[in-house]
Amino acid sequence: AQSVAQPEDQVNVAEGNPLTVKCTYSVSGNPYLFWYVQYPNRGLQFLLKYITGDNLVKGSYGFEAEFNKSQTSFHLKKPSALVSDSALYFCAVRDITNDMRFGAGTRLTVKP
């Protein structure tokens, strides 16, 4: 069965600095990978996905993610963090069985 891990419960960065939120996965076959963001008392909002093709995926709000097959990773990145980026971020993976698995989430705090 597929699984996804977000090794950091919490990531703190200063505004204007680059940010990285880590995600590693385990699947049979080729993965479909997703990043979502959740603000307090709201549902998840889709940021970006990797299906196939370029390893660097660009998404909403200036976020991007790098797919690394050899390291089975799909880290979320942004060159310059904003205070408004503070939220809970979820990585998710789907494989050929069509089950979607979510990571436990990483809380990002961007300090002014």
Candidates 42, 58, 69, 111; binder of other proteins (CB under 8 A) is 42
**In angstroms, rounded to a whole number, what is the distance separating the alpha carbons of residues 17 and 4?**
26
Residue 9, class by beta-carbon neighbours within 10 Å (0-12 exposed, 13-18 middle, 19+ buried)?
A: exposed
- Paired sense of beta strands 106-111 and 10-14, if any: parallel
Residues 51-80 that bind other proteins (CB under 8 A): 51
Alpha-carbon distance values, 35 to 94, 96, 111, 112 (Å): 12, 18, 22, 24
Site string for other proteins, 10-39 (x = CB under 8 A): ----------------------x-x-x---
Rounded to a whole number of angstroms, the minimum distance from the CB of residue 82 to other proteins is 22
98 binds other proteins (CB under 8 A): yes
What is the binding site for other proteins (CB under 8 A)? 9, 32, 34, 36, 41-46, 49, 51, 90, 94, 98-100, 102-105
